[in-house]
Amino acid sequence: MNLSTKTQAPALRTPLYDFHKSLGARLVNFAGYEMPVQYEGIIQEHILVRKSAGIFDVSHMGQLFIKHPENDFSKLTTIIPINFDKLELHQSKYSFLLNGDGGIVDDLIVTRIDEGLQIILNAACKYNDSTLIKNHLGYSFDIQLNENLSLIAIQGPKAASILEKFIKGVSKLQFMHGNKFIYNDKKIYVTRSGYTGEDGFEISIENIYVKNLVEELVNKEKVKLIGLGARDSLRLEAGLCLYGHDLSPTTTPIEANLSWAIPKNLKEDGGFNGDKIILHQIKNNPKRVRVGITPEGKAIAREGVKIFSKNNTEIGIVTSGTFGPSVDGPISMGYVDFNSSKVGEKLLLKIRDNLLPAKVTKLPFYKKNYAKH
């Protein structure tokens, strides 16, 4: 067997790099950062998040802050299709940056904060996104990609009770809402959100204080760090997209089955990049659409596996695939012809030299467990 993986000299590290190493993490290059892929084992880490709680270092992700003298961000709707005037203070929304053809340049979480907007961007896209947003908004906006901030996620059914011990009041946050909190006399920003299909929080904290917070959670509450390996299997079980795999500049939100993230008024009236294409796809259905796929056997259909109909016509491609520890079997997402996208539709997956049976499955593969208030 060949164990070697493609490696290149990684340039960037998060403030927790030494801490990850001290915990015995296996590090890989991810979006130019040397990041932990696993500590003790992907399955074990995955199950721990579903059962209890785990901490993720997602400091490689971009934290973009946008200010405007009148807090009027409506100009952004053209490239991020949400109603910024209706975004309440401390409310978060999942959305995406669109190119002129309605293709997804990045997916993101935007939160309305006191100073304006906080946007969490994918690591591999953050510099490009930042430039794109600056070019679109022009000089009346103050736009900063803040690299002095780290981002930590704590996810799992016990996340709220654990974090409440260190940051008073966080357990009262509603899902997809945030607020300012004080940790050791320092101002931090916490949102109730995440990307695992579990209840949890994302904490934006200055680089110089992040280690202290994580060490406290690890030492006093015995919370474990979780690598990107388990983050991938958790998000895939939750039916969530990974940019660069399930989403790309040639994929529209309608094809990606993310129509729910565009507000009703915009879906009717347009007024954003690619609106003609997107409105047409809403009305007439897209040619291809993202679906969940469950293989019948144990073989994993990974990214790039071709999808065939039961009469052997090629109808699509797998964009993500792994072993789902909580569903105890292989799971995939991919794009198939709209006519073959119904739940229960039988498919064939070309894995190595075999055509293996599978079927279209309702997403998520694993039921969500978000906080309701």
Partner 1 sequence: MTEKRYTKKHEWIEVNGNSATIGITSHATTQLGDIVFVELPQLQKVFEKDQAAAVVESVKAASDVYCPLSGEITDINKKIVDDPSIVNKDPESKGWFFKIKIKNQDELKQLMTKEEYVSYSKENPN
Euclidean distance between CA atoms 262 and 95, whole angstroms: 7
Q: Does 4 bind partner 1 (CB under 8 A)?
A: yes
* 2 sits near partner 1 (criterion: CB under 8 A): yes
Tokens of 81: 């299709």
How many other CB atoms are there within 10 angstroms of residue 280's CB atom?
15
Member of 13, 21, 134, 302 binding partner 1 (CB under 8 A):
302
Tell whether residue 299 is a contact of partner 1 (CB under 8 A). yes
Does residue 322 touch partner 1 according to CB under 8 A? yes
Specify the residue, 41 or 271, whose C-beta has the smaller distance to partner 1. 41
Q: Is 116 left (phi over 0), alpha (psi -120 to 50) or beta?
A: left
Query: Cα separation of 131 and 129, whole Å?
Result: 5
Identified binder of partner 1 from the candidate list 27, 35, 37, 293, rule CB under 8 A: 37
Nearer to partner 1, 30 or 338 (CB): 30
Nearer to partner 1, 203 or 307 (CB): 307
Q: Is 41 in the site for partner 1 (CB under 8 A)?
A: yes
Residues for the chain: how many in total?
A: 373
Taking the C-alpha atoms of residue 373 and residue 360, their distance in angstroms, rounded to an integer, is: 33
Site string for partner 1, 84-123 (x = CB under 8 A): ----------------------------------------
CB of 229 to partner 1, least distance (A): 6
As a whole number of angstroms, the distance between CA 197 and CA 239 comes to 8
For 207, phi then psi, to 5°, come to: -50, -40
Instruction: Name residue 126's amino acid.
Output: K
Q: Which of 323, 327, 338, 370 binds partner 1 (CB under 8 A)?
A: 323
| Minimum CB distance to partner 1, residue 7 (Å) | 8
The answer to whether 251 contacts partner 1 (rule: CB under 8 A) is no
Count the site residues for partner 1 by CB under 8 A: 23
Would you give the binding string for partner 1 spanning residues 205-234, x where CB under 8 A is met? ------------------------x---x-
Q: CB neighbours (10 Å) of residue 189? A: 20
8 binds partner 1 (CB under 8 A): no
What is d(CA 203, CA 210) in angstroms, rounded to the nearest whole number?
9
Strand-pair category, 62-67 with 116-121? antiparallel
Spatial separation of the C-alpha atoms in residues 321 and 224, rounded to whole Å: 25
Residue closer to partner 1, measured from CB, 200 or 330: 330
The residue type of 11 is: A
Q: Does residue 42 touch partner 1 according to CB under 8 A?
A: yes
Q: Which two tokens stand for residue 209?
A: 């204080």
Q: Are 137 and 256 in contact (CB under 8 A)?
A: no
Among 12, 23, 31, 43, binds partner 1 (CB under 8 A): 43
Contact residues: partner 1, CB under 8 A = 1-5, 7, 37-38, 41-44, 229, 233, 298-300, 302, 322-323, 325, 330, 352
